[in-house]
Structure 1
Amino acid sequence: MGSRTYAQELDALIIGAGFSGVYQLKRLRDEGYSAKIVEAGDNYGGVWYWNRYPGARVDSHAPHYQFSDPELWKDFHWSQRFPDHVELRRYFEHVAEKWDLRKDTYFNTFVTSAVWDEAAQKWIVTAKDGRVFRATFFLPHTGIAASRAFPDWKGRDRFRGVQLHSSFWPHAEPDWKGKRIAVIGTGSTGVQMSHALSEGAGELVVFQRTPALPLRMRQVDYGAGEEPVAKEELGDFFRRRGEGPWGFDFGLLPRRTFDDDGAARRATLEALWRAGDFTYWIGNYSDTLFDLAANREVYDFWRDKTRARLHDERLRRLLAPQDPPYPFGCKRVPLEQGYFEMFNQPNVHLVDVNETPVVEITEAGIRTTEKEWEFDIIILATGFDAVTGGLTQIDIRGVGGETVREKFARDGPTTYYGLSVAGFPNMFFSYGPQSPSAFCNGPTCAELQGEWIVGIINHVRDAGLASVVPDEASERAWAAQVNAIAESTLIPRAKSWYMGDGIPGKRRASLMFLGGLTNYMTELKSCAAEGYTGFRFEIPKVQTASA
């Protein structure tokens, strides 16, 4: 048996101390299970433990981005409508204290492998430091942004200056004031970080492949006693949040774009624009993400608003093209606070890598087909192997020894309800591929998916069963449903991590259930009410032997 003789025995082992991981621990302990969290970082927060780059802040506005437990919100105060990374870590400290999480958390623990032991009907989970856990349930709540992506540019290791990935920002802030800085990437992170750096950099050069189409963040500072929603109204607020199509307390308008005449349509778009958050994206007309003509109306309004903020015609062409580079809202929509205005500054430059491609990284900086740019710091805001990378970076082996990585490479990222995978018994996760994932406010999904996982684990325990696993046919049917919904939208018309684009060799398919959280929860509730249809259950093998 080797190391298994000293393996720690658990009912459940959870990977990840972000929203979904800590909620899962809390709820499983409430139900009487022995459960532990293992976390690669040295504190709580998940992605907010790692995201410390200048300008990092959440783009789900308060009070959406928190748990619904009154014990947490009754005495916690948000200082801003869109809290920054420091305040989010303060919130997690508050959660850890209130829920007494530390006694069941192992920090600085990176899981390298998890193997299903068919004979014992247990998971054998091994950490990098050699520790071993033997758990009935394996819950890798690794999130959608756990595995970093890097550009394949020639000479990336030659640069003599400081090179950083935005999601692995040093705890000790680098000295970047007055320095020559390159930011590679214009996704949500690149947009936030570039603007923050522009305020102190000697020179900032943003390298853009595809223009982002961000919306204005309507930031609000809250003084003592000021709240985004009154405390006495929060219970009802969280109920509405859980019933909303995106995990927010708002959804799409109950009419189509051309149901309104031109004047009414412009007034509606203006009101949505002034809201200053995701409302213009996922609170717009009901056909915005389905009909090209409707989508073009939304884009043209965005374009004209944005071009008015730029002084240079080249910048207007590259940052807010006359024709949409892709349907609006079909790539992740960032929120910004002065992103476009920063390009009017003399110390800020935009390099479009389609116009002047990167040739190589040099010892001094970055060479394009136009010139060599010299830098002190190069920052890679190049994103992640999104949604699936957190699972595939671990050597997870199910029935017959097949890994999750091998299965996803062979069949695509197929799951059942975005919560489990055929061939991998007693394994559940949240924010997974083919769940609402990035189209759901994180804490909302953490609670709703976490509750459903607790329900099926209770079913196994209460019925005296040993394991549960989805069957292949149900998994294929769910994948077909997910892709059919995606194909009915405009989402596949854009190259984005929603579709698995950006990672060489990754199969292109919808990584999101795009039918909305309301419909998703209807599916999950129906599955549970019918005795967990689509799942197979096994009795303990020791009972089989004695029968």
Structure 2
Amino acid sequence: MASAETSTPDTGAIADEYDTIVVGAGFAGMYMLHRVRQLGLSTVVFERGSDVGGTWYWNTYPGARCDAESLVYNYAFDPELRSDYQYRWPERFSRQPAILDYARHVAERYDLRRDIRFDTAVTRAAWDEPARQWVVETDRGHRVRARFLISAVGCLSDSQVPDIPGLNTFRGDWFHTGRWPREREVDFSGKRVVQIGTGSSGVQAAPVIAQTAAHLTVLQRTPQFTIPAWNVPLTPEVVDASLERMQQMTAQLGDTAKTRRLWEIFGTKKTFDDSPEEREAFFEQLWQSAAGAFPFGYLDTMTDPAANEEAAEFVRRKIRSIVKDPETAEKLMPRYPIGTKRQIVDTGYYETFNRPNVTLEDIRADPIDRITPEGVVSASGKLIEADVIVFATGFDAMTGPLFGLNIEGVEGRKLQDAWASGPQTYLGIAAHGFPNLFMLTGPGSPSVLSNVINSIEQHVNWLTTLLEHLQEQHVDRIEADLEAQARWTQHCTDTANETLWPQTDSWYMGANIPGKPRVFMPYLGGNALYQTEIDEVAQKNYEGFECRSEQAGRQPV
């Protein structure tokens, strides 16, 4: 296994032209590289970090861990890789170092680093119509051409620090959880820490920071529903029991999984099929074991407001029972439908507010006004003194990382202009006006509402088959049909509108970014139904795509 201090080798020179350029060397970029190599395509991967891992390279903040179970948050494409590694995972929900170690292990096992150019960010990608190529520029001065451009930049990689006046005057240190320092350890011992934000990274960071800080003040705008991880070491006995449980669940679903939407995957009955006593017992069972799947225990939690309120009120009762101070407990009460924001899994989050060195401030009631050299000042004039400020303020999700590549399609149209009213994709993988561009886990795919590695493998496997088909047919230009794109985007919207998700301001809706269109961006059909959808497109000769070759002009694939 690679150590956490693996050094990056010299990865060689850059050619002028490739068959394929991949942007990003996280789990999506690594697997895409592996598969295009199998097709015999010349490929280079540009990665702005100094090593593989993507999210797990950058997110090294205190408490960072995955909210999907280790035994499923890994590649399935190679049964030997999975079986060799499954007994190495240290915990049910692994911490960042263990996941980064796994990514490095994969890079070594398949000799991936030789085709990756690290410390290199793509600054512009422009479509050259006459040449039918993408021209990609980097911050290292490269200007490289390729027939196909594949984005593997991830959905949560564009860190957002809020524009708060006076930040540059602060005399202490400040950090964003998504860009935590790698060159040194951040020591909170004896310091007054202000944490801004209580999303997933904030919920994970606060309990750890509180252990050593002299005082931690958490500035909360929106309370979160978070479910205990009940994390345990993965002994061989626990691994065997977990694998058996997962196999039983898969067998129970059988072929019905192919038609079930995300919110229907785990449930077998509706909320009010049970008596109040039965519901309470079932919610307790979910609380003790379901982790992030808690909102999906009943079939109708995500579609029926009354059913959702039953689940939400159960969690509120748990908060009241855990948090000793009634006023603090009330501040922690979420009032939106449970599950409609990212479902967080925690280790001791609510308990943290019982510590004498932790304070919770409601910045919806008293917003942040400015930052001074001494700390954070609220609109009421209250100064919260700080030696360190931690921004747990999230990301410009899904579209932000793509816009950061400065993609220009047909006739120089920028992707952000084409998506001015919200992202428009076909299958979450392609966009009209941007030929030969493919987006792994893009808007309009299950992506962030799935086990993301499953979604990555779905996209990469499907795209690999498509690229092979294009080679065989000598097709050099493929583009999503405008009408097919409109139908798919509407299908995603209609699916979301069957649920409660769009009723909540969340980063799924772009609500955390000022001025961003309010559009529900992921596809809520879930991985199984999505696989059925994309397989059908392939079986119908890639219906919904327009293709051209030098010999035949425009034609279906």
TM-score, normalized by the shorter chain, greater than 0.5: yes
Contact 1:72 1:94 in 2 (8 A): no
Q: Which of 99, 105, 117 does residue 106 from structure 1 map onto? A: 117
The aligned runs of 1:157-172 (5 Å cut-off) are 157-171=168-182, 172=184
Q: Deviations over 1:373-425 (max 9, x none)?
A: 1111101110010011110111111111101111111x421111111111111
Which consecutive unaligned segments of at least 5 residues does structure 1 have? Answer: 1-5
Q: 2:432 is matched with which residue?
A: 422
- Spell out the pairing of 1:53-92 with structure 2 (5 A cutoff): 53-68=61-76, 69-76=78-85, 77-92=88-103
Structure 1 counterpart of 2:317: 304
1:294 maps to amino acid: A
* Structure 1 contact 218–276 (Cα < 8 Å) conserved: no
CA-CA distance at 1:251 after TM superposition: 2.7
Offset at 1:149?
A: 1.3
CA distance in 2, matches of 1:176, 1:186: 18
1:118 aligns with 2:134: no
2:193 maps to 181
Question: Residue 255 of structure 1: which of 269, 275, 278 is its match?
Answer: 269
The 2-side partners of 1:272 and 1:146 are apart by 31
* Contact kept? 1:78, 1:227, Cα under 8 Å: no
Misfit runs of 4+, over 4 Å: 230-248, 541-544
Deviates more, 1:200-209 or 1:369-378: 369-378
Is the 1:62–1:228 Cα contact (8 Å) retained in structure 2? no
Counting matched residue pairs gives 533
Structure 2 CA distance for partners of 1:448 and 1:34, relative to 1, 3 Å: same
Indicate yes or no: 2:229 matched with 1:217. Answer: yes
Give the letter for the 1:470 counterpart. A
Pair 1:192–1:280, CA change in 2 (3 A): same
Indicate yes or no: 2:22 matched with 1:10: no
Equivalent in the alignment of 1:46: 54
Deviation at residue 370 of structure 1 after TM alignment? 5.0
Task: Tell me which residue corresponds to 2:205.
Answer: 193
Amino acid paired to 1:202 = A
Equivalence for 1:454 = 464
Return the TM-score normalized by structure 1.
0.93
Question: Could you tell me which residue of structure 2 aligns to residue 316 of structure 1?
Answer: 329
Q: Once the two structures are superposed, what CA deviation does each residue of 1:227-259 show, in whole Å capped at 9, x if it has no partner?
A: 5247997996998799868999x9321221111
- Aligned partner of 1:389 in structure 2 is 400
C-alpha displacement of 1:471: 1.2
Q: 1:286 is matched by which residue type in structure 2?
A: L
Match of 1:275 in 2: 289
Counterpart of 2:347? Answer: 337
Give the TM-score taking structure 2 as reference length: 0.91
* Cα 1:7/1:80, change in 2 over 3 Å: same
CA distance in 2, matches of 1:175, 1:260: 50
Quote the residue 1:3 is aligned against: none
Seen in structure 2, the aligned counterparts of structure 1 residues 429 and 175 have a Cα distance that, compared at 3 Å, is: same
In structure 1, distance between residues paired with 2:551 and 2:330? 66
Rounded Cα–Cα distance in structure 2 between residues aligned with 1:148 and 1:185: 13
Q: Distance in 2 between matches of 1:394 and 1:21?
A: 15
Q: Aligned-residue CA RMSD in angstroms? A: 2.4
Q: In the alignment, what sits opposite 1:365? A: 375
Alignment equivalent of 2:511, drawn from 491, 497, 501: 501
Please give the alpha-carbon distance, in whole angstroms, between the structure 2 residues aligned to 1:164 and 1:500: 23
Point out where structure 2 has 5 or more consecutive residues left out of the alignment.
1-13
> 1:468-547 to 2 correspondence within 5 Å?
468-540=478-550
The answer on whether the counterparts of 2:133 and 2:146 sit within 8 Å (CA) in structure 1 is yes
CA deviation string 1:129-159 (max 9, x = no partner): 1112211110011111121112122212221
Contact 1:57 1:83 (8 Å CA) reproduced: yes
Q: Structure 1 counterpart of 2:329, which letter?
A: R
CA contact (8 A) 1:63 1:229 kept: no
SS at match of 1:157: helix
C-alpha distance in 1 between matches for 2:450 and 2:45: 23
Q: SS of 1:296's equivalent?
A: helix
